[in-house]
Amino acid sequence: MSDLIYKKRNIYDTITPEELARANAYAEEYKLFLNAGKTERESVTEAIRIAEEHGFVPYERGTQVKPGDKVYKSLRGKALFLAVIGNLPLTEGLNIAGAHVDSPRLDLKQVPLYEDGGMAYFRTHYYGGIKKYQWVTLPLALHGVVAKANGEVVPVNIGESDDEPIFMISDLLPHLGRDQNKKTLGEAFTGENLHIILGSTPTGGEKDSDRFRLTVLNFLHEKYGIIEEDFLSAELTAVPAGAARDLGLDRSIIAAYGHDDRSCAFAELRALLDIETPEKTAICILADKEEVGSDGVSGMQSSAFETFIADLAGGLCFVAQAFEKSFCLSADVCNAFDPNFAEVSEKSNAAFINHGMGIMKFTGSGGKSGASDASAETVAKIRRLFAENGVAWQLAELGKVDQGGGGTIAKYMANRNIETIDAGVPILSMHAPWELASKLDCYMTYKGVLAIYGDK
Ligand code: MN
Ligand code: MN
């Protein structure tokens, strides 16, 4: 084949047996990370646990950092910044990788509990972009925290192990589905009807009221010491129950909840653990709230990032200089070409499974609206770095022009005057309860982040 022609390559055609073994070992570690964290809080807790095992310590304000120091800053337990201090001053720029650890899910309403038809239910308000029909007749687990008025914060986790119960939203039987079938996909299931079944045992006698609610409250009080009013100050969420699993006879794919964006979050974290003292300070961001617009104190529009860098650099006055010379890999998933829905993709610019990390020069929708759009020079830099470091990668675009679109934290980083590009793992069934990612693509994303951290 002529070198003049650009062609995407399947990693299986080039990978050595040794590297394939490393990729498979990496996938096993990644699955453990997925199973340990199904909410942003759980993922942050797990990331801190892993980081501390590798010598990271919480950054204490006022401490002067020196090359080789490994520090982290938790943003109220919901987002995390980690840093390995480089040899150069921070004003010479940072190499940043930013992923998010929140995923689409069903949050409980603040007054969630009710009863009807001899059953107790939780009402929900979905979080992020979901296709609602995918969440019915699906085993669900309850995760989250209840913050009591006395300051105590109680973690909740029910439905993950085989001896625990699961929860579920019911669907209509097809025999009575005539009217439902006439509705559009978006209309057939409404957000206000995603009610989770909690139980069907009454407490008390026939004349008592609220008998089914009371049973639920009795259980929760016994197990967690909470009362119904405590829901007002809770963050409880229903997520798909069960562990990440290998998919396919060849076990080449992982089916899991939350590949978006834990596949990139873990790649960033793992790579940060594997670097020696870099030239430029390496920063790993595990952000919250990406799925709902990156707002809030734990989202990437928050000034918490400036504060963290100012602390490390010795003052807010150094932050703008540091950012001007920094680079950010906005590590977020992209869509993999799906032959079942080929019509939404334009094959020349689509990412394919097992073809490596997907680099997105721009995201946005309808004429690149809302995209930070990395410069040609930035893409050239990625080409050079990844070629030098044996990173399999591919250029990717989120579907055909005018087909839809989406965004990441990229523009919020770029708006800080940080050179930024989107890159991540190609995903099948993105935002579905069970998303699919190939082990090789996950591993190559780790290698890609490693190359960024090591860039001089
Ligand atoms: Mn994402
Ligand atoms: Mn997403």
How far does the centroid of ligand 1 lie from the alpha carbon of residue 333, in Å? Answer: 5
How far does the centroid of ligand 1 lie from the alpha carbon of residue 170, in Å? Answer: 28
* Residue among 82, 72, 79, 75 at smallest CA distance from 37: 79
- Give the model's pLDDT for residue 183: 97
**Kind and range of the H or E element at 428?**
strand 426-428
Mean pLDDT rounded to a whole number for the chain: 96
Ligand number nearest to the C-alpha of 104: 2
CA 332 from centroid of its chain's CA atoms: 8
**pLDDT, mean of residues 418-431:** 97
pLDDT beyond 70 at 95:
yes
Residues of the chain with CATH 3.40.630.10: 2-103+257-453
Ligand number nearest to the C-alpha of 430: 2
How far does the centroid of ligand 1 lie from the alpha carbon of residue 5, in Å? Answer: 32
pLDDT over 70 percentage in the chain:
100
How far does the centroid of ligand 2 lie from the alpha carbon of residue 204, in Å? Answer: 45
pLDDT beyond 90 at 370:
no
Q: For residues 292 and 129, is the Cβ–Cβ distance under 8 A? A: no
Ligand number nearest to the C-alpha of 333: 1
Residues of the chain with CATH 2.30.250.10: 105-240
- Give the model's pLDDT for residue 2: 81
**pLDDT, mean of residues 223-249:** 97
How far does the centroid of ligand 1 lie from the alpha carbon of residue 61, in Å? Answer: 31
pLDDT beyond 80 at 1:
no
- Give the model's pLDDT for residue 449: 98
How far does the centroid of ligand 1 lie from the alpha carbon of residue 102, in Å? Answer: 8
**Residue 143 identity:** H
Ligand number nearest to the C-alpha of 435: 2
Please name the CATH architecture into which domain 105-240 falls. Roll (2.30)
How far does the centroid of ligand 2 lie from the alpha carbon of residue 414, in Å? Answer: 19
Q: Which residues of 140-163 are buried (b: 16+ CB within 10 A; e: fewer)?
A: bbbbbbbebeeeeebebebbbeee
Ligand number nearest to the C-alpha of 261: 1
Ligand number nearest to the C-alpha of 332: 1
How far does the centroid of ligand 1 lie from the alpha carbon of residue 331, in Å? Answer: 8
Fold category of 2-103+257-453 in CATH: Aminopeptidase (3.40.630)
Total-model pTM = 0.97
